[in-house]
Chain A
Amino acid sequence: MHDALRRLGRGFLTEMRRVVSYATLTVLTVGAALRPARHARAVVWTQAARQIVFTGVEAIPLVAFLGAVGSAVFVTIALTFFSGAEENKMVVDILARLLVREVAPLSTAVVVALRSGAAVTVELGSMSARGEVEGIETAGIDPIRWLLLPRFIGMAVATVALTLVFVASVFGGAFVAAVQAGALPPQLGAALPYLFALQPSDVVLALAKAGLFGIVSAAVACYHGLSVRGDVTEVPRRVARALVEILIHCSALAAVFALLAL
């Protein structure tokens, strides 16, 4: 019992130390963003734009597919249980609250973690192992500004944008499913009143969460990538840890947000 408690305490402290490291990395990156460095701006924005394209634009089909299919399945199943106009409204309310506010940012964060979190960890891990990070430092290039800042910007912006895509596809999928189930006439106008079930605060909260998840994903992925020391075989281990930790931290934050919003 005593040993188990000690192990639990040690594990908790290790986890806390890591969270502090992620927070420190984020603060350093935000600091680099706020510090004026006009000369490096063009190079950094080029990198950030590339990251946004990779993390955001290239993931649009996947996120749209997941959003549409998820909501279509949800609506189809819900409509088999509820059929009256009142119940339809309830289905839409749940759809808005659950899928838009809770599922959209978290699902998007999972997609971003699986695609870009893994890629960022592999890229930075390989660069660290090959001595490239030191290499750019020797040229007076700040790795936080040139390597981390674009990835933080790219992943945060892309996660927010992909959440919007997810929300749009949720409504698209739900509309098609509702029409198929005969709960709505096949005119787009008929679906508009249902859209108003979505409060602006729901969308704002979803986007804020998405931005935070993007930053968490970037911090964890960058931390594990830069923690590789000279051994390329360490990279896959770091990727696995980064992915698990991104999912755990984002889920925990989602739970905290949900509890706070009660």
Chain B
Amino acid sequence: MTPSIEIRDLWVQGVGAELQGVSLSLREGERVAVVGPHQPSLSLLIRACAGFERVQRGQVVVCGVEVGTADRRSLLQLRRHLGYVSISGGLLANMTMRDNLELALRYHGIAQSDASRAVASVIAAAGLETSADVRACLLPAELCKCFAYLRALLLEPAVLLAEDPSAFLHPEGRNIVSELHAQAHARGVTVLVADDDVEFVEPLVDRIIELSALEAAS
């Protein structure tokens, strides 16, 4: 599986947002931020890469899988190698943060004891132990976002996709997320983030591109 992203002349229509002929290419291990003033359009790009939006025209190839035409099972296999952080995090509200993280590992066949140990270790490394046993619905959005990052990176993905990483984050949360991005970079993870906060994403990536420039390039 080639850990890279190739977007060619992508047209997607979302709710209140659209992409018109976006083209972008990420090499293995490259970190790119797509920025712009309209977050819904930026999110649409990330969601299209994760296979959550219907591609009207063009191609999105992630880790060698053409997302627009892939069937359900291929998408599931692809997502096993993708780390994805949505704006709100998408954690299960009625589970504790620890259970949310362990679920991802246990579903993929890791024994309970090993999963517990791995999760405890990443939570401790991020300094989030005090919130680990609280249900997601009871925690502020900032902490949910940080735990969503932990879940996304727990399965050691080849590609990390993040929709608006700066959303809900205060300085402390921003530090945690920046640290997690640094760890992902050290592991050679390909990173594509889309954010309207250029100042926040600048130190996280190698390249910053305006979405409008990508559309114009097509």
Task: List which B92-116 residues lie within 8 A (CB) of chain A.
Answer: 92-93, 103-104, 106-109
Find out whether the CB atom of B82 lies under 8 angstroms from the CB atom of A131.
no
Number of interface residues of A (CB under 8 A): 21
Q: Which residues of A contact B (CB under 8 A)?
A: 38-40, 42-43, 126-127, 130-132, 134-142, 146, 230
Main secondary structure of the interface of A (DSSP, over half): helix
Closest chain-B Cβ to A138's Cβ sits at a distance in Å of 4
Q: 1/0 per residue B58-94: CB within 8 Å of A?
A: 0000000000000000011101111110101111110
Find out whether the CB atom of A135 lies under 8 angstroms from the CB atom of B92.
yes
Q: Which residues of A contact B104 (CB under 8 A)?
A: 139-141
Q: Which residues of A contact B89 (CB under 8 A)?
A: 135
Q: Which residues of B contact A139 (CB under 8 A)?
A: 79, 103-104, 107, 151-152, 155
Specify the chain B residue showing the minimal Cβ separation from A123: B94
Find out whether the CB atom of A137 lies under 8 angstroms from the CB atom of B76.
yes
5 sampled A-B residue pairs with Cβ under 8 A: A39-B108, A42-B106, A130-B88, A130-B93, A135-B92
Find out whether the CB atom of B91 lies under 8 angstroms from the CB atom of A140.
no
Number of interface residues of B (CB under 8 A): 29
Find out whether the CB atom of A132 lies under 8 angstroms from the CB atom of B92.
yes
Specify the chain B residue showing the minimal Cβ separation from A145: B107
Query: Which of A39, A131, A138, A230 is the one whose CB lies under 8 Å from B79?
Result: A138
| CA distance in complex: A38, B109 (Å) | 8
Find out whether the CB atom of A132 lies under 8 angstroms from the CB atom of B91.
yes
Give 5 A-B pairs besides A38-B109, A130-B93, A139-B151 with Cβ atoms closer than 8 angstroms: A39-B109, A130-B88, A130-B90, A136-B90, A136-B92
Interface hub of B89, B90, B91 (most chain A Cβ within 10 A): B90
Find out whether the CB atom of B107 lies under 8 angstroms from the CB atom of A40.
yes
Find out whether the CB atom of B90 lies under 8 angstroms from the CB atom of A135.
yes
* B52 within 8 Å of A (CB atoms): yes
| CA distance in complex: A133, B14 (Å) | 18
| CA distance in complex: A43, B115 (Å) | 13
* B50 within 8 Å of A (CB atoms): yes
Specify the chain A residue showing the minimal Cβ separation from B77: A140
Find out whether the CB atom of B92 lies under 8 angstroms from the CB atom of A40.
no
Q: Which residues of B contact A140 (CB under 8 A)?
A: 76-77, 79-82, 104, 107-108, 155
Task: List which B145-194 residues lie within 8 A (CB) of chain A.
Answer: 148, 151-152, 155
Query: Which of A43, A134, A142 is the one whose CB lies under 8 Å from B76?
Result: A142
